[in-house]
Structure 1
Amino acid sequence: MIDAGVADIVAAMTPETAEKILADMFAPWVRALDMRIDAIGPEGATLSIPVTDEIARVGGIVSGQALATLADTAMVFAAIGHYGEFKPVATTNLDTVFLRPGAGERIACHARVVRAGKAVLFADATMIAEPSDKPVATATATYMVP
C-alpha cells in the first residue's frame, strides 16, 4: 500500500517526485548507491550514480552488482514514467551484458519500456560512463505487473 505522501506525488511525475518515491519505497542498500533521477516521463527514465570507492572493485571500476542494480532500478522508473504513477512491479528476469569497465565520474542509465501488457512489462537499458560517453553495459528485464 502506498502511503499518503507518495500517493499525493504520483499525479505529477517529475524527477523530484520520482526521487521521493526512491527515498520512500526502495531498500536502503539501493539508496546507498546515491542514485539521482535525471529524467522521467512516458518515454523512459534516466538515472545515474557517482563512481565511488564504495562500489569499485579491483582496478577502480564499478562492480557488476552496482551496475545491475542501477539498470533494474532505472527500468522500474521507466515503468513508473510509462504509467505516470507508482505501480509496484516485480522483476522476473534481468539480463545484463557488460561491455567495458565502468569508470569516470558517473554512470548514467537510460531505460525505456519496450512493451507493456496487462500482466507483464518488458524494458531495456543502456549504461554510459560520464564524461567519456562510452557504453559500459546494457540490460533487459521482464517485470510482472500485479
Structure 2
Amino acid sequence: MSALDLRSARKVLESQPFSVLLGARVTAFGDGGATLRIDVRPELQQQNGFLHGGVLAYAADNAITFAAGTTLGPAVLAGGFAIQYVRPATGHTLSARATVVHSGRRQAVVRCDLSVVGDDGEETLCAVAQGTVLSAEQT
C-alpha cells in the first residue's frame, strides 16, 4: 500500500459511513499529525446542550488513528485510547488535533487535544486523549 496524503486521507474518511453521518472532515494530515473537524449541530448534543461525549471520543479515536497512519502507513488499527473530559464542549466546531508522541515499526503512541471553537473564534480545550495504534501490515 502506498503512503497517504491529505487527499487520500479524506477519501478514507469519506468511506466511513459513521464519519459521514457525523459530518467529520480531515483538515490536516502529515508529518506525524492529523486534525479532524466536526460542526456542532443539535443532533450531536446531549440533553444539556453540550456536545455529546461519544462525539468527542469518536473524534479522538479517528484523529489518533489518522495521525499514526502518517508514521506507520495506511494499514493501521487502534489498539486503545483513554480520554479525559476537561470541560463541557460548547461552540460551533469541534477540532481534534492529534500528534504522534512516539512511533516504532509496529506501534505508535499518539496524543490528541480536543477543542471547540466558540462564536468569538476562540478555541477552548474540552478534552485530551492518548492512544496506541498498531500497524496492520504483515511482515
**TM-score, normalization by structure 2:** 0.86
> Residue 140 in 1 paired to residue 130 in 2?
yes
Residue pairs, 1:96-111, within 5 angstroms:
96-111=83-98
Q: Which residue does 2:12 correspond to in 1?
A: 21
Shift of 1:139: 0.3
Number of equivalences: 133
Structure 1 runs of 4+ aligned residues shifted over 4 Å read none
> Residue 95 in 1 paired to residue 82 in 2?
yes
Shift of 1:118: 2.4
Contact 1:104 1:132 in 2 (8 A): no
CA offset digits 1:67-88 (Å, max 9, x no partner) = 00001101111122234x422x
SS of 2:22's equivalent?
coil
Shift of 1:106: 0.2
**Ranges in structure 1 where 5+ consecutive residues have no aligned partner:** 1-6
**TM-score, normalization by structure 1:** 0.83
> Residue 41 in 1 paired to residue 68 in 2?
no
Please provide the CA RMSD for this pair.
1.7
Q: Which residue does 2:104 correspond to in 1?
A: 117
> Residue 86 in 1 paired to residue 77 in 2?
no
Larger strand percent:
2
How far apart are the structure 1 equivalents of 2:43 and 2:69? 28
